[in-house]
Chains A and B, each alone.
Chain A
């Protein structure tokens, strides 16, 4: 009995020590689509670290495009690459991985979007379900180009997301 009580007490004490999921800021959602959005391909050509940027694209580009434990996702260009379900004969179960596209086109047509907290660290919560966000959702994101971003790997720190109704 004493052992059981001690175990329960230990669990209760330990519970607050385990990492709680972060909250996405309320300011993240924008109802009105930001103007002057670039395509992913265009953004990759012109983006410079630290600059403000607005990009439009679809969630997708790899099988795991939307992480469940971190506010990070892959954004695919709307025009230069097409998801598998755009091909009528295709029966791909994961059309958001764009597996019917060549690796080269895929590489050139994708970017990373992520939401960081005030401490500058990536928020440990998923973007999935945020205003209905899921794979192949069309979004317009506004934010700044991450310092570690390169021309080959565009990373955008998102300040606001507009999710287009499908």
Chain B
């Protein structure tokens, strides 16, 4: 085997070519990392948003969009009375009446923005235990509390939604009285208001849905209720299933991002071929000389691949630094929520594996061309 120092020395023989290789590979690896982080973030937010213990009861036919759903305002009390075993906390049943409103929110200074606003009662805290008030308090009539990522979702500076500030929803003004967190869930990008206020804003006398937290009750108990009350035209879904169903809607977007990454990677591989063919072609005689003094073709092939792997390792480092610096913590908004990109060790690992694959794929054909000629003709090559 040739020593690693030989590969390292060869790598820095042509700095301009090395820079070209490293930057080209770094762009592809960066893209791979970002696509992985986006996909993982989307999966994570959808998975975290739907609890296995929650059942969402919505209007029949609105299984794919809670915003379109309408259920009777009396449903929360009907569910609490008719379904035995619903979780209770301090005697209060965990049944949350909710209005999910996708409408315009106007900050104090600025243009109206499309916002996800949820009308709730304090019972929402019983079914969404992930909610943590980080400042202020739960909203009453005429007030709202905002999620940690709501400002990012709305494209506003955070001080626009500071406690004590005012926002306009529909024709009504609301005071911002609280900030909350719900790590990794779609709720972090939402604005929460009193359910009755949102009923007035939406000019409706119905709710969007009722969320029930199961205690001793099972999902089947809630489903039986929906079958026994056909007049209410209800459908019960596990909250986790609801969000899983929504994720299907984003498959084409995800497929497109992966396809783009794949196409750019293919382009980079061909670019790499081009550079490496030229680089290795000028070393045919050198390789033949090494063979003549006793090194096997396999040893030479390994050395050439080592060179490319070292270059790709540099590219992984560059891409990693760029991803950590530019993308880590960057908030991404999509129609059902907002999440922060996380460049985890797993994502960096995916980038490293991608880089290694890129190096091996890019090195093998040019190396083959370089080592393939017969020894006697290779020794005479220019």
Contacts and interface: CB of A to CB of B under 8 A. Distances in A.
Interface in A66-111: 67, 69-70, 72-74, 99, 103, 107, 110-111
A57 interface: no
B60 A62 contact: yes
A154 B231 CA distance: 9
Contact of A64 (B223, B229, B231, B233): B223
B229 A153 contact: yes
Given A67-B223, A69-B220, A70-B220, A112 B233 contact: no
Contact of B227 (A99, A107, A112, A150): A112
Contacts of A99: 61
A65 to B, nearest CB: 8
B14 interface: no
Range for the number of chain B residues in contact with chain A:
10 to 19
**Secondary structure dominating the interface of B:** helix
Contacts of A114: 228
**Secondary structure dominating the interface of A:** loop
Interface in A99-152: 99, 103, 107, 110-112, 114, 122, 124, 148, 150, 152
Contacts of B229: 153
Range for the number of chain A residues in contact with chain B:
20 to 34
Contacts of A124: 220
Given A62-B60, A64-B223, A67-B223, A72 B228 contact: yes
Given A103-B61, A103-B233, A107-B233, A153 B228 contact: yes
Contact of B230 (A70, A112, A122): A112
B75 to A, nearest CB: 13
Contacts of B357: none
A54 interface: no
A103 B61 CA distance: 9
- The residue in B61, B227, B231 that gathers the most chain A C-beta atoms within 10 A of its C-beta is B227
Contacts of A63: 235
A60 interface: no
B231 A155 contact: no
Contacts of B224: 67, 70, 72, 122
A124 B223 CA distance: 13
A6 B233 CA distance: 49
A128 B239 CA distance: 26
A107 B230 contact: yes
Interface in B201-242: 220, 223-224, 227-233, 235
B206 to A, nearest CB: 14
Contacts of A103: 60-61, 233
Nearest to A146: B228
A14 to B, nearest CB: 17
Interface in B124-140: none
A73 B224 CA distance: 9
Interface string A11-54: 00000000000000000000000000000000000000000000
Contacts of B230: 61-62, 74, 107, 110-112, 153
A68 B61 CA distance: 21
A67 B227 CA distance: 9
A124 B235 CA distance: 20
Nearest to B219: A69
A7 B233 CA distance: 46
A161 to B, nearest CB: 17
B215 to A, nearest CB: 16
A93 B65 CA distance: 20
Contacts of B220: 67, 69-70, 124
B35 to A, nearest CB: 33
- The residue in B61, B228, B230, B231 that gathers the most chain A C-beta atoms within 10 A of its C-beta is B230
B228 A155 contact: yes
Contacts of B227: 64, 67, 72-74, 112
Contacts of B235: 62-64
Interface string B295-315: 000000000000000000000
17 contacts: A62-B60, A62-B230, A63-B235, A64-B227, A67-B220, A67-B224, A70-B220, A70-B223, A103-B60, A103-B61, A107-B230, A111-B230, A112-B228, A114-B228, A150-B231, A153-B230, A153-B232
Given A67-B227, A72-B224, 12 more contacts: A61-B230, A62-B235, A63-B235, A64-B223, A64-B235, A67-B220, A70-B220, A107-B230, A112-B228, A152-B231, A153-B228, A153-B230
Q: What 9 pairs between A and B have smallest CB-CB spacing? A: A152-B231, A153-B231, A69-B220, A110-B230, A72-B227, A153-B230, A112-B228, A153-B229, A70-B224
Interface of A: 61-64, 67, 69-70, 72-74, 99, 103, 107, 110-112, 114, 122, 124, 148, 150, 152-153, 155
